Structure formats: structure tokens, C-alpha cells
Amino acid sequence: MTRAFGVSDAGRVRKSNEDKFVSDPSLGLFAVADGMGGHKAGEVAAQLAIDTITGFIGRSEKDYDVTWPYGIDDTLSFDGNRLRTAIYLANRKVFRVAESSDDYGGMGTTIVGLLITGANASIGSVGDSRVYLQSGERIEQLTIDDSWASTILANDPTLRQEDIAQHPMRNVLTNVLGGRASVEVRVTERLLAGGESLLLCSDGIHGVLGPEALRDLLQKHRDEQQAAQAIVDTALDQGSRDNVTALVVRYEAGK
């Protein structure tokens, strides 16, 4: 059984909230999108992505004859391929709308999605929104940021996060949904044992709260609504200048 609750806030600096999310335990679908672009285009991009992903996951839930326009990844389960295809479809939708209007030109969005079926969790991402998994004293980041900083750190094992913490390019994204016709989508899967908490969040959260702080908040607040609200409030108190979204999913086995 999964229980979930999401909180999204424009924050204390931005006038509008370009973060969007879906939390649908009946589908086992949870996702967070962080849009970007002028003329409120970021909001449009993020909502298009969420709507497209939700629509495909809903249509394909019991339809095994669904078409797979982006092929099948044999390393993934049926549900992993559902999530993969849904994200590719979202990229196509956002890209086409961006091309169709000057107001929406150049818009894009990050996306991080979680699809839980039974004990299997499929995780897909583009951009730098993240999924964390907390179990007991352990917290693990399940996604890889598509950012300049992440690329530099991956290519030079001698560097630490703090070594580039002030670099002006540290937050530049290398891969976003809707930025071009083709996109790289990362999808991974893992089995859940029960008792885990999964946190989906935008960079307004993880930009100011490290993994240990997030673990402590998830441990302290066992109610998912309280946990999500506490994470958002703490990020704002710590000086986040961005939109902030926290979606907390709790998984219990055999219920």
C-alpha cells in the first residue's frame, strides 16, 4: 500500500509557481515537474508534462495492446517501459507546443516520476528534480542530475560538491524535457521491502537541504502530510529562493 502527500509553494521570492506535481496512489503514479520559460511558459511546460504522463499511465494501466512509439527497453519491466514511454511522450508534447507559439518558445521542464506496482518501483527522470529513498538511518538519491555540476563531478572523482558550490555554471541543466525533439530519459527500477519513504522534490528543496537533513525530517514526521509540509517549510526557512515542491510517498508491504 502507498500513501502520499505533496506540498508545493511559490516561495518567498518568485511571484508564480512553475512547479507542478501529480500524486495518484490509485495509479501508483507520483511525479514532480519544475518548469522554466518566460510569459508563464514554465508553468505551461510543467503542467503539459504532468498531464501527458498521467494520461498515458492511466491509458496503459490495463491495455497490453498499447503502442510503444519509442520502442521497448528489454532491461525494464512492463511498468518501467510505461514510465519511460510516458516521459518521451511528454517531451514530444512540450516541444511541439513550444514550437507552435512565440510566447512558449524555449520553454522546458524537468521531470521526475515514480511508478509503484506491487513492490516494484520504476523511477524516471530528466533534469535535476530528484527522488530520494529513506529507510531507517539510510537515505539514498535514486536519480542523477542532468546538470553541469553533476557532469563535472562524475568525470573528476577528485572533486567534491563543495569544490564547485560557488561556480556560476553549477546549476546549468544539460538535459530538459521539451528543449529539443529528442531527449535522454533515465529509468531505473528497484524492489521495495516495506517501510520505505520516497521523496520527490524540485531543486528548490535539495538546493538548500542536504540528504541528512531530509532524512531527519522524514524520520521525525511519520505522517506524510506533516513530512511534506515540514520539508517545504524548512527549505524556505533555510533561504530557498526558488519554487519548492516536496512529494512524500510511504510504502508498506502486504497491505
> Pick the residue with more confidence: 169 or 115?
115
Q: What angle do CA 129, 134, 140 make, to 5 degrees?
A: 60
Q: Which of the four pLDDT bands, split at 50, 70 and 90, describes residue 241? A: very high
pLDDT band, very low/low/confident/very high, at 9 (cuts 50, 70, 90): very high
- pLDDT tens digits, one per residue of 37-94: 876 899 999 999 999 999 999 999 987 788 899 999 999 999 999 999 999 999 999 9
Q: Would you list the domain boundaries of the chain?
A: 2-251
**Amino acid found at 231:** I
What CATH architecture applies to the domain 2-251? 4-Layer Sandwich (3.60)
Rounded to a whole number of angstroms, the CA Rg of the chain reads: 17
* pLDDT at 205 > cutoff 90: yes
pTM of the predicted model as reported, rounded to 2 decimal places: 0.93
The set of residues, in sequence order, having a beta carbon less than 8 Å from that of 196 and lying 6+ positions away, is: 133, 134, 135, 250, 251
Which stretch of 63-72, 125-134, 166-175 has the lowest confidence by average pLDDT?
166-175
Looking at residue 64, its pLDDT comes to: 72
Q: What is the pLDDT of residue 151?
A: 66
By percentage, how much of the chain surpasses pLDDT 70? Answer: 90
Residue entry with cell 530528466: 126
Q: In the prediction, which pLDDT does 118 show? A: 95
CB of 122 closer than 8 Å to CB of 165: no
Q: How confident is the model at residue 156 (pLDDT cuts 50, 70, 90)?
A: low
Residue listed under C-alpha cell 531530509:
214
Please name which of 212, 211, 198, 210 lies closest in space to residue 246, comparing C-alpha atoms. 198
What's the pLDDT tens digit per position in 17-42? Answer: 999 999 999 999 999 999 998 768 99
Q: What is the pLDDT of residue 37?
A: 86
Between the CA of residue 47 and those of 2, 37, 97, 107, what are the distances in Å? 24, 13, 12, 12
Confidence of residue 152 (pLDDT cuts 50, 70, 90): low
* pLDDT given for residue 168 in this prediction: 55
pLDDT range class, residue 174, cuts 50, 70, 90: confident
- Contacts for 191 with CB less than 8 Å, ≥ 6 apart: 119, 120, 121
Distance CA 116, CA 130 (A): 16
% of the chain residues with pLDDT over 90: 79
